[in-house]
Amino acid sequence: MTGNGEKKKAAPNDRSFTKGLSPLQLIEIDACTQCGECLKYCPVQDVTGNPLISPPEKIRVFREFIKATDGLKARLLGPQLIDRKLLEDFTKAVYECTTCGACGQHCTVGIFTQRLWPMLRKEMVRRGLGPIGPQVNLPKVIGETGNPYNRLAAERFAPWFPEHVKVVDRADIGYYAGCTGAYEATPMVRGDVLVLGAIGEPFTMLPAEDEVCCGFPLFITGQHDMLEDLVSRLVAAYQAKAVKTLLCSCPCCVNIMSRDWPLFYKKELPFKIRHITQFVAASMKSGKLAIKRELRERLIYHDPCYLSRGVGIMEEPRAVLRGIPGAELLEFDRNRLESRCCGAGGAARKIFSENAIEMGRHTIAEAVEKKADKLVLSCPACYAKVNEAMVGYDKQIEIVDIMELLAKMIEAVDSGTP
């Protein structure tokens, strides 16, 4: 589909597959030794056992596509036609991946898979084969409503925004709630705003109708046509509010803002991007925010893939949790850069919902096994899906977002609750 929702003309099956890939990505595809080391860490492989989804198989098949259209034989005798079924099966496999990047983290030759898979998706969109299912409606829905959930701008902040927290018109600090938090994980964004209010530094926000999608759902499903427009609108709007640091709690937003916004904006951004835990950890360190109430509980923190492997933010959330008096911090066996995907990423959580629920249950089961009192998350997609995974599951644990938890500790002191 185009940004206007019109059907894009499919590329013939014998046209080059290398157009949208960087020279480094072409080298990466060539470099895979098929050693299979990454397979041990793939969460989708774990729950489906489907060999087509495995990282080396996706790379092997894509390599065959390149060979058929750009290899020596193709250059001498003309490109070969690729079987349509093979292309369709590959497309499904590349969209079933959660793009968690665990395979890249453990890749013996250092392939940056968290970036490679979305680029392969983009190629399948260019060929008229991707995206899949309702993802095809994303450009139209985002174009019409500003968010991927087809919700009204009037519902973006109003249902959860705490009345007593003041937002100023212009400030050095801007806060971007993000679509998933605002519509699907409201305790999380409410927690963000309550904590910002408690820190007390003035912050600004865009009006709900101007806080449009950051572009991540389009980027990750390979539909890049609208990205330049969305990014330039948002950057100009925050610039007009004199923002110098833009805060956000959604790892996917923070990831695209820091890694890709400068590419779509075509120059350096006029402000810094920070995950909310970076700002809050610094405020706790400088004494601007102190948690006075004790929490005698065992907390286990799950590193979101796009926050840890994506942008390297792993210690700040832990510093925030260690700042809660009495709390004991536990770790998953796989933590930080090696974190195991909870199943919610890569725009796959709604289409491949059963996979996502099973992956989320692995996270819940380990937290329960380690006797944690609370499973602490820091991503709205994880929050929505892991909560869903708990429904009907025989293992139960309290799930809480990191800022939701902190806000509860602050509110309890403010209201005098012991």
Contacting residues toward ligand SF4, per CB under 6 A: 32-38, 41-45, 55-56, 59, 97-103, 107-109, 111, 113, 117, 341
260 vs 404 by CB, closer to ligand SF4: 260
357 vs 410 by CB, closer to ligand SF4: 357
Q: State the nearest-atom distance from the C-beta of 28 to ligand SF4, in Å.
A: 8
230 vs 341 by CB, closer to ligand SF4: 341
With contact defined as beta carbons under 8 Å apart, do 380 and 185 qualify? yes
Residue 218 in tokens: 């389009």
CA-to-CA separations, 65 to 22, 29, 186, in angstroms, rounded: 16, 11, 44
36 vs 325 by CB, closer to ligand SF4: 36
C-alpha 150/C-alpha 137 separation (Å) is 10
> Phi and psi dihedrals of 75, rounded to 5?
-70, -35
Q: How far is CA 68 from the centre of its chain?
A: 34
Residue 364 in tokens: 């819940």
C-alpha 82/C-alpha 137 separation (Å) is 27
CA-to-CA separations, 50 to 54, 84, 217, 365, in angstroms, rounded: 7, 20, 25, 23
57 vs 211 by CB, closer to ligand SF4: 57
Q: State the nearest-atom distance from the C-beta of 397 to ligand SF4, in Å.
A: 24
Q: 248: part of which helix (H) or strand (E)?
A: strand 245-248
Q: State the nearest-atom distance from the C-beta of 400 to ligand SF4, in Å.
A: 25
Q: How far is it between the farthest Cα atoms of the chain?
A: 80
Q: State the nearest-atom distance from the C-beta of 303 to ligand SF4, in Å.
A: 14
Residues 158-176 as b/e (b if ≥16 CB within 10 A, e otherwise) read eebbeeeeebeeebebbbb
Residue 141 in tokens: 């829905």
Q: State the nearest-atom distance from the C-beta of 17 to ligand SF4, in Å.
A: 18
To 10 degrees, what angle do helices 113-126 and 23-31 make? 110
C-alpha 365/C-alpha 12 separation (Å) is 47
111 vs 141 by CB, closer to ligand SF4: 111
Q: State the nearest-atom distance from the C-beta of 9 to ligand SF4, in Å.
A: 29
107 vs 185 by CB, closer to ligand SF4: 107
With contact defined as beta carbons under 8 Å apart, do 338 and 105 qualify? yes
97 vs 407 by CB, closer to ligand SF4: 97
Q: State the nearest-atom distance from the C-beta of 389 to ligand SF4, in Å.
A: 16
Across 151-194, where does the E strand assignment appear? 173-176
Q: State the nearest-atom distance from the C-beta of 341 to ligand SF4, in Å.
A: 6
Residue 411 in tokens: 């509110």
CA-to-CA separations, 175 to 25, 44, 97, 252, in angstroms, rounded: 34, 33, 30, 15
59 vs 196 by CB, closer to ligand SF4: 59
In eight-state DSSP terms, residue 3 is T
Using only the alpha carbons of the chain, give its radius of gyration.
22
Q: Measuring CA to CA, which residue among 237, 142, 223, 235 is closest to residue 183?
A: 142
275 vs 334 by CB, closer to ligand SF4: 334
Q: State the nearest-atom distance from the C-beta of 116 to ligand SF4, in Å.
A: 9
59 vs 208 by CB, closer to ligand SF4: 59
With tokens 């075509």, the residue in question is: 266
Q: State the nearest-atom distance from the C-beta of 233 to ligand SF4, in Å.
A: 30
Q: State the nearest-atom distance from the C-beta of 220 to ligand SF4, in Å.
A: 11
